[in-house]
Structure 1
Amino acid sequence: MPEGDTLFRTARALEKALAGRVVTAFETGVATLASVNDDKPVAGRLVERVEARGKWNLIFFSGDLILTSHMLMSGSWHIYRTGEKWWKGRSHMRVAITCGEMQAVLFDAQIAEFHTERSLARSRQIPALGLDVLSDAYTPEGGVAALRDYGRTHPEAEVGVTLLNQRVLAGLGNVYKSEVAFAAGVNPFRRMSTVTERELETMADVSQRYMKANVMDGSGDGIVTYSGNRRTTHSMNAGDRLWVYGRQGQECRRCGTAVERRLQGEQARPTYWCPQCQPWIADAGQSEAAPVGRNTKHTGPRRRRSGC
Structure 2
Amino acid sequence: MPEGDTIHRVAAALRPVLDGQTLLACTCELAAVDDWQIVGRRVDRVEARGKNLLVHCAPLHAVAGEADPRRADQLPVAIWTHLGMHGRWSVRGAGDVARSSGPRPSLVLRTQTHAAVCTRPEILKFLGPRGLLRSRALAQLGPDLLDPGADLDEAVARLRALGEVALGAAIMRQSAVAGIGNVYKSELLFLERRDPFAPVAALEAAELRALLERARELMRLNLDRGGPRRTRFEGRGRLWVYERSGRPCRVCGELIQMRRQGRLARSTYYCPGCQAQSPS
Using structure 2 for the length normalisation, give the TM-score. Answer: 0.88
Counterpart AA for 2:56: F
TM-superposition CA deviations, 1:168-210 (whole Å, max 9, x none): 1101000000111111110100111212445323311111001
Hey, what does 1:300 align to over in structure 2? none
Kindly indicate whether residue 138 of structure 2 is the aligned counterpart of residue 126 of structure 1.
yes
Hey, what does 2:233 align to over in structure 1? 234
SS in 2 for 1:228: coil
Quote the Cα distance in structure 1 between the aligned partners of 2:82 and 2:120.
10
SS in 1 for 2:260: strand
Hey, what does 2:24 align to over in structure 1? 24
Q: 8 Å contact 2:143–2:154 — kept in the other structure? A: no
Counterpart AA for 1:34: V
Shift of 1:249: 1.6
Shift of 1:42: 1.3
Hey, what does 2:266 align to over in structure 1? 269
Match 1:256 to one of 247, 253, 264: 253
Match 1:43 to one of 36, 39, 53: 39
In structure 1, runs of 5+ residues without a counterpart are 218-226, 281-289, 293-308
Quote the Cα distance in structure 1 between the aligned partners of 2:235 and 2:145.
25
SS in 2 for 1:120: helix
SS in 2 for 1:132: coil
Kindly indicate whether residue 208 of structure 2 is the aligned counterpart of residue 200 of structure 1.
yes
Q: 1:110 to 1:148 in 2, by over 3 A?
A: closer
Match 1:171 to one of 175, 179, 199: 179
Q: 1:200 to 1:25 in 2, by over 3 A?
A: same
Quote the Cα distance in structure 1 between the aligned partners of 2:251 and 2:201.
27
Shift of 1:118: 2.9
Kindly indicate whether residue 116 of structure 2 is the aligned counterpart of residue 116 of structure 1.
no
Alpha-carbon RMSD across the aligned residues, in angstroms, is 1.6
Hey, what does 2:279 align to over in structure 1? 291
Q: 8 Å contact 2:156–2:209 — kept in the other structure? A: no
TM-superposition CA deviations, 1:243-284 (whole Å, max 9, x none): 11111121212222211111111211110111121112xxxx
Q: How does 1:87-166 map to 2 (within 5 A)?
A: 87-89=101-103, 92-138=104-150, 142-143=151-152, 145-151=154-160, 153-166=161-174
Hey, what does 2:7 align to over in structure 1? 7
Shift of 1:150: 2.7
Q: 1:236 to 1:8 in 2, by over 3 A?
A: farther
Q: 8 Å contact 1:55–1:170 — kept in the other structure? A: yes
Q: 8 Å contact 1:23–1:99 — kept in the other structure? A: yes
Q: 1:14 to 1:161 in 2, by over 3 A?
A: same
Using structure 1 for the length normalisation, give the TM-score. Answer: 0.81
TM-superposition CA deviations, 1:107-126 (whole Å, max 9, x none): 11131111122320121111
In structure 2, runs of 5+ residues without a counterpart are 60-75
- Tell me the matched-pair count: 262
Q: 8 Å contact 2:3–2:181 — kept in the other structure? A: yes
Quote the Cα distance in structure 2 between the aligned partners of 1:155 and 1:28.
42
TM-superposition CA deviations, 1:127-155 (whole Å, max 9, x none): 110000111112xxx4355234432x322
TM-superposition CA deviations, 1:32-52 (whole Å, max 9, x none): 32342xxx4211111111011
Counterpart AA for 1:171: G
Q: 1:110 to 1:155 in 2, by over 3 A?
A: closer
Q: 8 Å contact 1:80–1:86 — kept in the other structure? A: no
Q: How does 1:208-247 map to 2 (within 5 A)?
A: 208-217=216-225, 227-235=226-234, 237=236, 240-247=237-244
Counterpart AA for 2:41: R
Hey, what does 1:301 align to over in structure 2? none
